[in-house]
Amino acid sequence: MARIELEKRQKIMLGTTVFSVLLIVIGIVIGDPALIINLVIISVFAFIVQFFLYKYSYYMWVKSIEDQFPKFVRNMADNLRSGMSFKEALNIATKSDYGKLTEEVKRMASKMNWGIDFQRAMDIFAAKVRRSRMITEAIAVMKEAYKNGGAVANTFDSIARDMIMLKEIEAERESMMRQQVMTMYGIFIMFLGIAVVTIFVMVPMIKTQPDIRAGGTSISFSDPCLDSASFPCNLFSLIGLLLNIPKGIALYYTSLFFSVSLILAVLIGLIAGQVGENSITAGSKHSIIMVTLCLSVFMFLAKSGLLPK
């Protein structure tokens, strides 16, 4: 299974890479700098999105395994209590439906039928779900119970009860934190709105502001990147090609708020995942949504010719 998953991931990454390179080559052939920048951004975004989607799909797979694992452990306890060996109990357990876990249980049973020890079979399974601390610790206790003997069925029952209790506590926490996640979305949308309004109000005001003279000194509102080609001015030049804004004060402040909005989108998204689902990986979906929203707003304004120049 691990090998098949790896091959699928390689195919997806290869396809995305070919697609990204093809877009960039098309832009270079056409020779339009603005188009090249747009295609490069689309290519990079597509590559990053597929990487995060793969990580998130694995995260969701582990979550589905966690949901069904207590049921599997409880069935094993019932089978062992009836006098079956571990091998027989595992073979009987394969007849139950555990969702995503079903295939993994069948693989464990197949390994034991081929003479692999129960502990080794559980180690192989634990390596696949190593991101789940709950299952990893449960498997460690199951292996100790198997090695030491005694009331193994009672130990398995206790493991199942503890896991169910932990899942209920986690579900309650996620329900309570969902409101906080929505608040973070509201904060980002509010900041994005303020950034856009500030660009529309501040840039024309600065461009028309005359030089201020006081005490023999003169304060002028000029482009900070006028005589600079270093960071972040070189980055702002690329953003200018993306948003079709010529060099000047408008480009500087528009690029500044655009960059800050993108950084905020990524960070708030990751924090939302940590707060809502206790996982930064889960936050990747929030980051992708917020980044897409930010790009959509600025690209719409740019294509509509509404951004100040």
| Per-position pLDDT tens, the chain of length 309 | 344 444 566 666 677 777 777 777 776 777 666 667 667 777 777 777 777 777 888 888 888 999 999 999 999 999 888 888 888 988 999 898 998 899 999 999 999 889 888 889 899 999 988 888 889 999 999 988 888 877 888 999 999 999 999 888 888 887 888 888 899 999 999 999 999 999 888 888 877 765 555 455 555 567 777 776 677 778 888 888 888 888 888 888 898 999 999 999 999 998 988 888 777 777 888 888 999 899 899 989 988 888 887
Beta strands in the chain (DSSP E): 212-214, 217-219
- What is d(CA 290, CA 67) in angstroms, rounded to the nearest whole number? 29
The residues, ordered by sequence, that sit 6+ positions from 72 with a Cβ below 8 Å of its Cβ are: 93, 96, 98, 101, 105
Exposed / middle / buried, residue 10 (Cβ in 10 Å: 0-12, 13-18, 19+): exposed
CA atoms within 13 A on the CB side of 120: 9
**Exposed / middle / buried, residue 141 (Cβ in 10 Å: 0-12, 13-18, 19+):** middle
All residues at 6 or more sequence positions from 245 whose CB lies less than 8 Å from its CB, including other chains: 239, 251, 254, 255, 302, 307, 309
* Confidence (pLDDT) at 2: 41
Looking at residue 10, what is its pLDDT? 63
Query: Can you give the pLDDT at residue 306?
Result: 84
Q: How far apart are CA 288 and CA 275, in angstroms?
A: 17
Domain 64-169 indexed as CATH 1.10.3470: no
CA distances from 109 to 25, 141, 190 (A): 50, 19, 54
C-alpha dihedral (177, 131, 129, 2), degrees to nearest 10: 120
* pLDDT value of position 3: 43
Per-residue confidence (pLDDT) for residue 221, from 0 to 100: 63
Residue type, 285: K
pLDDT for the residue 215: 53
Give ranges for CATH 1.20.81 in the chain: 64-169
